[in-house]
Amino acid sequence: MHFLVTPEPLDPQRAIELVRRDEAGAVVVFLGVVRNHNQGRRVLYLEYDAYPEMAQQVMQELAQEAKSRWPIAEVAVVHTGPSARGDALQGWRAEEAHYAGRRPAIAFRYVPVRDEQRFPSDIVSEEDAALLLRVLYREVAAQKRARRRVHLCIAGGRKVMAAYGMAVAQLLLDEEDRVWHLLSPPHLLQSRQMHAGADRVVLVPVPVLRWSLLPSTLWELLLWDDPYGAIQRQREVRDRLRRRMLSEFWRELTTAERQVALALARSGGSNQELELVPKCSGRPVLIANWG
C-alpha cells in the first residue's frame, strides 16, 4: 500500500502505476476536486490544515478496512497538502477587469516567491521564510528607489508573511508610507465576496517603529537587494552612533573622572559601586553603561 501527502499537484497516472498488477483486471481511480460553489456561494479555494503523519495513519486504516471487505490487490492514496491554491490565483486574475475599470485604474503584478534554486509551494521552513523576506524586501525597495509612496497591507495570508512584512516596513518605509491591517466581519469572510462596501470593512493603520530614523540612512539601505545585508548595515550604523556618543561622553569628563571611570571599567564596578563614586571637581561622576 502507498500513502502520500504532498503540496504538489496530483498526478493520477502516477497513482495508477503504483497499484497496477498483472493479476488484477481493473484499476479504479477516484479523483477529488474543489467545486466552484458551496451552498449557493462562490468558492475560490479550499483552505485546510493537514498533519501528514496523522493523515497517512488514517489513510492506512481506511485502506486496510477496504482490503478486508473486498478483494483489492493494491491501494494508493495521494492527498494534496493545504497549499494548493492555483484556483485562487485564477480567481484573482478574473477580478482584474473589475479593478481596471476603476478611476484611477488599479493594475496587478504577481510576484512569485522564488529564486534560482527554490520555488516553495508554501512557507513551511526557515529557508522558505528567508526567501519570502528577500522577495518582499526586494519588491518594496524597488518601489522606494522609484520614489513611490508605499501602502503595505498585512491582512490575510500566512502569519509569517505579516511578520516579515512588518520587518520590511521597519527597514524601508518612511513617514509618507503607510502600513494597514484589513478587518473584515466573519460573515463577509465566510461569503467569499470579493467586493464589499466601504461600511463593511475597516482599514486600521498599523504604527511602525522604523529602524531608519534618518533619510540618509534609508537611502543607504536602499542600495541593498538583500535584507540581511541591510540589517547588517543598520547594525554598523547603530554601532557607529554608539561609539560617537561614547567619544563625546569621554571628552566631557575631567581627568579625575576619567581615572574613576577606567578603574570601574577594569574592576567591573556594580551599580552599588557607582552610587559610592566620590565627587570630583565638585560634581558627581556619571558612568553610563552602553554595553
* Per-residue 3-state assignment (H helix, E strand, C coil) for the chain: CEEEEECCCCCHHHHHHHHCCCCCCCCCCCCCCCCCEECCEECCCCCCCCCHHHHHHHHHHHHHHHHHHCCCCCCEEEEECCCCCHHHHHHHHHCHHHHHCCCCCCCCCCCCCCCCCCCCCCCCCHHHHHHHHHHHHHHHHHHHHCCCCCEEECCCCCHHHHHHHHHHHHHHCCCCCEEEEEECCHHHHHHCCCCCCHHHCEEEECCCCCCCCCHHHHHHHCCCCCHHHHHHHHHHHHHHHHHHHHHHHHHHCCHHHHHHHHHHHHHCCCHHHHHCCCCECCECCCCCCCC
Given a contact cutoff of 8 angstroms between Cβ atoms, the answer to whether 246 and 186 are in contact is no
Percent over 90 (pLDDT), the chain? 6
The pLDDT of residue 291: 45
Per-chain mean pLDDT for the chain:
76
Residue 85 counted as domain residue: no
119 shares a domain with 30: no
Statement: residue 277 has pLDDT above 80: no
222 shares a domain with 146: yes
Give the range of the structural domain holding residue 180, as residue numbers without chain letter: 111-240
* Across 192-203, average pLDDT: 68
227 shares a domain with 150: yes
pLDDT band at 84 (very low <50, low <70, confident <90, very high): very low
Buried b (16+ CB within 10 A) or exposed e, 36-45: eeeeeeeebe
Q: Count up the domains in the chain and report the number.
A: 3
Statement: residue 193 has pLDDT above 80: no
> Rounded to two decimals, what is the model's pTM?
0.52
Residue 185 counted as domain residue: yes
171 shares a domain with 67: no
75 shares a domain with 30: yes
User: Tens digits of per-residue pLDDT, 173-188?
Assistant: 888 899 998 877 777 6
235 shares a domain with 115: yes
The pLDDT of residue 208: 85
181 shares a domain with 271: no
The pLDDT of residue 139: 92
